[in-house]
Amino acid sequence: MQPNIAQVALPVPLDKCFDYLIPNYLFPVIGGRVSVPFGRQTLVGIVINIVDHSDFPREQLKPIKASLDTHPIWPAPLYQLLQWCSQFYQYPLGETLAMALPALLKKGKTADFTSLKTWHLTEAGKNKLIQGFGRAHQQEKVVRLLESSSLPHQAMIDEGISSATLKALQQKGWIEMKHTQPAKTVWPNLIENEQHKPQLNAEQAIAVATINQASGFGCYLIDGVTGSGKTEVYLNLIKPVLAAGKQALVLVPEIGLTPQTINRFKRRFHVPIEVMHSGLNDSERLNAWLAARERQAGIIIGTRSSLFTPFADLGIIIVDEEHDASYKQQDSLRYHARDVAVMRGHKENIPVVLGSATPALESLHNAQSGKYHYLSLTQRAGNASAAKHHVLDIKGLYLEGGLSAPLIAQMRRHLNAGNQVMLFLNRRGFSPALMCHECGWIAECKRCDAYYTYHQGNQEIRCHHCGSQRPVIQQCQGCGSTQLVSVGVGTEQLEKQLEILFPEFKTIRIDRDSTRRKGSLESALESIRSGEYQILIGTQMLAKGHHFPNVTLVGLLDVDGSLYSSDFRASERLAQLFIQVAGRAGRASKPGEVLLQTHHPEHALLQSLLHKNYQHFAQTALAERKMAQLPPYSFLTLFRAEANHNDNVEAFLRQVRYTLEAHPLFDEQCLVLGPMPAPLAKRAGKFRWQLMLQVSTRSQMQRLLLSSKTAIQLLPLAKKVRWNLDVEPQDLS
């Protein structure tokens, strides 16, 4: 009999596939989408297999409603990669596959280009160009861009033009929007623009030659100080790939994706380049996805999730700033894009290049053990120069808005010389609490095990964990005193203090809150570069991928929390921040200085960074990790659980622990820690606990998780708590 049962993976949180009958007028394919009835809904799923037998009686099976694809939606290696991800990260296959689809395809749209919004210059616009624009520079820029050809909406945004500007010009009748089908592009014969292309230095040339000469899969770690020309190496690696008619994927951290970065690739290559980031709308995303799959884009530059873009013929994967924490997804499929990129390279049999000035300890370890090829760039190319570091002992010093007197004096010196100053606050360590000056009582969220954060601006206290907010409390709930003061330094407080200390200089704050709006980061960066602001306040965000040549002083205000954190990765992150910020500041003619305020100047980590370098720190830290049998010398999985009843959560994780310990694969090399309360033990009224499993090899971890998962899912308490597991977690909170 003709096999006519389709096993379908659906986007539901269940670890299994569902059987459906294939009506004789439909021809679904394995790896293609179908829409099927599921309860009262209709869902879009992927056909995993077509068979002639079901464990359920045929008459109970429902028929497929529609077959949406005539070919598999992903090329085979990517489809296999997604299956691998589902297994490795212990996440249901149906949900994993759905996550990798653009939203429109998830909704059942045909896998076809949607019409593209493009801007065109009108006759009125051309006339205006002749008349001149006076001081309307942005408007003039738009019209000039459109003078020779019309451009897609996204290209305008990438040029730093806001939607508001475009709207305004449209209303004036100078430009108009049309919906067009994207043309089939053919790559030009001339791929590269050789203008301004620098001659590689010896180290760069060795790196390029090593990678270009190899064939097939290989993983290369480029350990290169900031400004050593890593990007230039990437460009030289991509060229022969494009010349061979293949495509390149470049992953960048969330915030590294700026017009500057993109323009560097666009200026160099004449092939179409697609940029994928969270700001794309559904049809833009689908178009970029299709452009890669249909070989219409030569290069895809994107953040974490663009790793799952299908390519017609992928030739190389580059992961820039490979140490960056934004490569790890913190919910649903908790994948690490760097690690999965290496697996993708393996499956596609192509090279994977990881670059960083501060490689992750995991990557350095892989290089040392011979798993990755190690290439280093020690020379600063162009006009960059190394910053000088100083540690400022602030024990017993009076701090104004978190600033010590020596730091203030240095700031004044640099500002008066006409330079810019950048101040870093550690997001985690700096939420100001509201405290009673008489008895020390601190305003605390009743639903969370956390203090309220004081927001001076709108006289509110807000819990950053559950989002609850209320007007500022006037009276201490401990002693009744009305002397309430804020403790800890927040950006707002720092900004206020800077106004008092440096009224003649302008301050700008760059963090997730201030740059949430699309395009606002670009315009902020632009006004910093143009010198409109002299003092920049930032969090980790500012340390990534941006270079500020006029910043000559960087102050790190609050690092002590990282020195004594319960998270074993905190010191690595601090070391990376320390080195990265130093690399962002100054240039040859104006070398940068980094000042770090601490109560613990004698701390071994700081001493190592100050007197030696990142490599020295990394070797010391790796030795410590080895002693403690922490990653990369072991492999971790974190079980997290939460519920309204504290006892249920703890009891559930205790049962998980017994289940694991009773497993035949659990040997004396394995270790379970916990259950213990999560660092944030209560959030939004729910109690949170965690359990850590430590195993000495990846494959043993995989086998152990795979074969104990069903038993864990069947635990009676598994239905009473919300739980998940994070394979190779990056963040232990």
The Cα–Cα gap between 385 and 283 comes to 43
586 binds ligand ADP (CB under 6 A): no
Residue 463 touches which member of Zn ion, ligand ADP, none, C-beta under 5-8 Å by kind: Zn ion
Q: Are 623 and 631 in contact (CB under 8 A)?
A: no
Query: Segment near Zn ion (CB under 5 A), from 276-284, 302-310, 429-437, 549-557?
Result: 429-437
Among ligand ADP, Zn ion, none, partner that 466 touches (CB below 5 to 8 angstroms by kind): Zn ion
In DSSP terms, which residues pair with 131 in a beta bridge? none
CA-based nearest residue to 190, from 269, 130, 256, 114: 269
Q: How far apart are CA 665 and CA 660, in angstroms?
A: 9
**Residue pointed to by tokens 């499993």:** 693
Nearer to ligand ADP, 230 or 285 (CB): 230
Among 85, 225, 319, 436, binds Zn ion (CB under 5 A): 436
Q: How far is the CB of 589 from ligand ADP (least distance, A)?
A: 15
Neighbours of 593 (CB within 10 A): 20
Instruction: Report DSSP letters for 529-555, one per residue.
Output: HTTS-SEEEE-GGGGSS--BTTEEEEE
Token digits for 543?
């340390």
Out of 193, 481, 629, 644, name the contact with Zn ion by CB under 5 A: 481
Out of 448, 521, 570, 695, name the contact with Zn ion by CB under 5 A: 448
The distance from CA 336 to its chain's CA centroid, rounded to whole angstroms, is 10
From 90, 228, 296, 708, residue interacting with ligand ADP (rule: CB under 6 A): 228
Q: Rounded to the nearest whole angstrom, what is the least distance from the CB of residue 478 to Zn ion in the complex? A: 4
**Residue 463 makes contact with Zn ion by CB under 5 A:** yes
Q: Which residues lie across from 683 on neighbouring strands?
A: 686
Residue 316 · residue 351 · CB < 8 Å: yes
Identified binder of ligand ADP from the candidate list 92, 224, 310, 632, rule CB under 6 A = 224
Range in contact with ligand ADP (rule: CB under 6 A) among 198-206, 253-261, 278-286, 630-638: 198-206
Q: Cα angle at 373 between 83 and 605, to 5 degrees?
A: 95
Instruction: Return the residue of 3, 37, 198, 480 that touches ligand ADP, per CB under 6 A.
Output: 198
Q: State which residue, 261 or 608, has the beta carbon closest to ligand ADP.
A: 261
Q: Kindly state whether residue 193 participates in binding ligand ADP, applying the rule CB under 6 A.
A: no
The kind and range of the H/E element at 674 are strand 671-683
Q: Which of 654, 644, 655 is nearest to 676 (CA)?
A: 654
Contact at 8 Å (CB) between 534 and 505?
yes
Is residue 478 a contact point for Zn ion (CB under 5 A)? yes
Which partner from the list ligand ADP, Zn ion, none does 353 bind, CB cut-off 5 to 8 Å by kind?
none
- Which window, 253-261, 293-301, 376-384, 398-406, contacts ligand ADP (CB under 6 A)? 376-384
Complex with ligand ADP: residue 175 or 317, whichever CB lies closer: 317
- Are 286 and 102 contacting, i.e. CB atoms less than 8 angstroms apart? yes
Pairing of strands 175-180, 116-121: antiparallel
Alpha-carbon Rg of the chain, whole angstroms?
Answer: 28
Rule CB under 5 A: say whether 221 interacts with Zn ion.
no
Task: Answer yes or no whether residue 440 interacts with ligand ADP by CB under 6 A.
Answer: no
Region of 14-22, 328-336, 456-464, 614-622 interacting with Zn ion (CB under 5 A) = 456-464
Q: Among the candidate windows 91-99, 283-291, 462-470, 556-564, which touches Zn ion by CB under 5 A?
A: 462-470
Contact partners, residue 602, CB within 8 Å, separation at least 6: none
> For the chain, what is the total number of helices (H) and then of strands (E)?
22, 32
Q: Are 460 and 442 in contact (CB under 8 A)?
A: no
CA dist 685 and 466 (Å) reads 9
* # residues near ligand ADP by CB under 6 A: 16
708 touches ligand ADP by CB under 6 A = no
Q: Which stretch binds ligand ADP (CB under 6 A): 227-235, 243-251, 277-285, 484-492?
A: 227-235
Task: For residues 239 and 247, give the distance between their C-alpha atoms in angstroms, rounded to a whole number.
Answer: 10
What is the Cβ-side half-sphere exposure of residue 21, based on CA atoms within 13 angstroms?
11
Residue 466 binds Zn ion, judged by CB under 5 A: yes
Can residue 681 be called a binding residue for Zn ion (CB under 5 A)? Answer: no
Applying CB under 6 A, the span of 94-102, 220-228, 649-657, 721-729 interacting with ligand ADP comes to 220-228
685 lies in the binding site for Zn ion (CB under 5 A): no
- Contact flag: residue 296 with ligand ADP (CB under 6 A): no
Contacting range for ligand ADP; rule: CB under 6 A; set: 1-9, 154-162, 225-233, 569-577 = 225-233
**Contact between 339 and ligand ADP per CB under 6 A:** no
Residue closer to ligand ADP by CB (options 173, 198) is 198
258 touches ligand ADP (CB under 6 A): no
Could you tell me the CA-to-CA distances from 131 to 126, 134, 148, 167, 170 in Å, in that order? 9, 9, 18, 21, 18
The region of 221-229, 255-263, 567-575, 660-668 touching ligand ADP under the rule CB under 6 A is: 221-229
Least distance in angstroms from the C-beta of 357 to ligand ADP = 7
Select from ligand ADP, Zn ion, none the partner in contact with residue 226, using the beta carbon and a kind-dependent cut-off of 5 to 8 Å: ligand ADP
Find the binder of ligand ADP among 245, 382, 531, 561 (CB under 6 A).
382
Q: Which helix (H) or strand (E) holds 33?
A: strand 33-38
Minimum gap (Å) between residue 190 Cβ and ligand ADP = 21
Give CA–CA dist 667/398, Å, rounded: 54
**Helix axis angle, 137-148 to 163-172, nearest 10°:** 80
Identify which of 579, 580, 559 has the alpha carbon closest to the alpha carbon of residue 570. 559
Q: Is 200 in the site for ligand ADP (CB under 6 A)?
A: yes
According to the binding rule CB under 5 A, does residue 447 interact with Zn ion? Answer: yes
Residue ranges binding ligand ADP (CB under 6 A) = 198-201, 204, 224, 226-232, 381-382, 384
